Chain A
Amino acid sequence: MDVARLVELNAAYARVIDNEQFEEWPKLFHDPCLYKVTTAENVARGLEGALIYADTRGMLEDRISSLRKVNIYERQRYRHIVGLPVVLGQANGTAEVETPFLIVRIMREGDMNVFATGCYRDKVQPDASGALRFAERIVVCDSRRFDTLVAIPF
């Protein structure tokens, strides 16, 4: 799989979240899919539990409608800095890809902090139109600590 296209996919992913075009985010996944946010420690210990777990595009859409209409939290946004993808393997049209990320959280009053760093562990496949989409995106965070709350997906 062409690394330039993976870079483009990651750039689109970061852009829709950072620009608060959240409704575009589920569209970057296949349906069904697997999206999980967990930690390196849980992965190392074989613990499956996750902060966020979605195995359908509907569950991703529910994350967005919940953060838009239901949940209460102080106004905030993210800035993703996404590193270069490394293709670990390819088989049957699916690429296994690993990409490091850093998320800065910007709070209402202007406080900025490094909210999360980690690695996206992905399975990427083209959809019917040939566009690359995530069959799987496991967000493996480096730290076990998640300050205050996580409303917006990583």
Chain B
Amino acid sequence: MDIRHDETPESIAERTATSDGLWPEDSLARVPYWVYQDDANYKREMQRLFEGRTWNFICLEADIPNKGDYRTNHVGIMPVIAVRAADGSINCFENRCSHRGALIAFDDGGNVGNQFRCVYHSWSYDLAGNLRGIAFERGINGVGGLPKDFCRDDFNPRKLRTTTLCGLVFATLSADTPPIEEYIGSEVLSRLKRVLNRPIRVMGRFVQPLPNNWKLYIENVKDTYHASILHTFLATFRISRLTQGGGVLVSPDGGNHSSYTIAVPEGANANAYKEQQIRSDQDGKFALADPSLLDSVEEFGDHIQLQILSVFPGFILQQIHNCLAVRHVVPRGVDKMDLVWTYFGFEDDTPDMNRRRLKQQNLVGPAGFISMEDGCVGGFVQRGTAAAGDEVSVIEMGGSTAESQATRATEASVRGFWKAYRRHMGY
């Protein structure tokens, strides 16, 4: 074998890439598996998606209420800082010192007063991310220091546009990303506003590292077909079954969705799961010793008892009965990701509602009765497709298009994701 001596990690990645990014078939219902495996594709995603014309979730406004409050996060793999300025606005910029590239802030958040100061050489930045101070800029006794013509303004960290929506903070690196309301689309937007209708209160945070490409989790979130089949808990207690009322809304560009279940009797379809012998239907064989965690109350006045909503590329809002959370998908390499959970309630919650939410949080998160399977199933696909980079998955339930549908026995919103993905990636 011809051994090359001049290889870099990049050239190895390029040489061993399973694909040049060409989509095998011009159908939203077929997705090649290299898309979850290819290092070169992963790098393109960071530039074209996360750093492209997309709104990325950064933090909650409640995280940074006062001037100088900041929080760190990632846009794709790019570390960023969001900070509340003196005028109440929120700025976001790359968490990378212009000097040698060190992280400017290396905690989850806090308050920095008037400025950030890089610990490495004490270069400092104002709350808008402008380089303001340089230690020993003029040297010592006229010796050393920076050249006289050094222009600080040429050396600011990359700045992101920020926007807020219902207490959420999003940021984008592109000047061309449309306003957030337009980006999300009116139908999905109304579903987001229905939940985030008043000031929220953070109840807890957890991180769930998953052994799979980030897109496998996003697809799972958008996949209304699997939810009541894989997750026995949902079906058994009729929290969500495909035979219940509900549907899926997909934004016109495909990228955002909201699926929902309506609390109405199932009628003639009540036995459909038994007739099809679906494993998740354990009705009668499994009962809770203490069903108090299912003691939910109608909170939003519209009979929607379950709603999962996503904003492309990595934001998820969840309402499962009275259990509310935002989830943020952070890529950590081609076959790893972090799922960051923030459980919340509202500032005006009564003690009863607080206790109800605490109980229902058993349903979600890394140990969730409902959601724990989502932690492993992406890894099953990642491992199952290890030798199948050139094969394709079949995403054809409900046809080949990505329109909203009045059923959840469809993969319309998964196809919507790929519609948006291919447009951003140029595939």
Task: Give chain A's interface residues, CB within 8 Å of chain B.
Answer: 37-39, 41-42, 47-56, 58-59, 61-62, 65-66, 69-74, 144-151
Contacts and interface: CB of A to CB of B under 8 A. Distances in A.
Interface stretch (B198-206, B262-270, B297-305, B400-408): B198-206
A51 B206 CA distance: 8
A48 B367 contact: no
Contact of B367 (A37, A55, A58, A145): A37
16 contacts: A49-B203, A49-B204, A53-B362, A59-B362, A61-B290, A65-B286, A70-B232, A71-B232, A73-B373, A146-B209, A146-B367, A147-B211, A148-B210, A149-B367, A150-B367, A151-B367
Given A148-B376, A151-B367, 7 more contacts: A42-B204, A50-B358, A52-B367, A54-B362, A59-B362, A61-B289, A151-B372
B369 A66 contact: yes
B369 to A, nearest CB: 5
B293 interface: yes
A65 B205 contact: no
A73 B375 CA distance: 9
Interface residues of B, number: 39
B207 A146 contact: yes
Contacts of A48: 203-204, 354, 358
A41 B203 CA distance: 12
B111 to A, nearest CB: 14
Contact of B366 (A49, A56, A146): A146
A73 B292 contact: no
Given A70-B369, A146-B366, A151-B372, A65 B289 contact: yes
Given A38-B204, A146-B206, A149-B375, A51 B366 contact: yes
A66 B233 contact: yes
B361 interface: yes
B208 interface: yes
Contacts of B289: 58-59, 61-62, 65
A59 to B, nearest CB: 5
Interface of B: 202-211, 230, 232-233, 236, 282, 285-286, 288-290, 292-293, 338, 343, 354, 358-359, 361-362, 365-367, 369, 372-373, 375-377, 379
Contact of B343 (A49, A54, A74): A49
A39 B367 CA distance: 13
Contacts of B359: 53, 55, 59
Contacts of A51: 206, 361, 365-367
A144 B361 CA distance: 16
A149 B372 contact: yes
Contacts of B209: 145-148
A66 B233 CA distance: 8
B282 A74 contact: no
B206 A39 contact: yes
A52 B377 CA distance: 21
* Best-buried of A58, A148, A150 by chain B (most CB within 10 Å): A148
A47 B205 contact: yes
A149 B376 contact: yes
A53 B372 CA distance: 15
A71 B292 contact: no
Contact of A62 (B210, B211, B290): B290
Nearest to B212: A148
A58 B369 contact: no
Contacts of B282: 69-70
A151 B230 CA distance: 15
B365 A144 contact: no
A62 B290 CA distance: 7
Contact of A42 (B205, B210, B290): B205
A50 to B, nearest CB: 6
Nearest to B230: A72
Contacts of A59: 289-290, 292-293, 359, 362
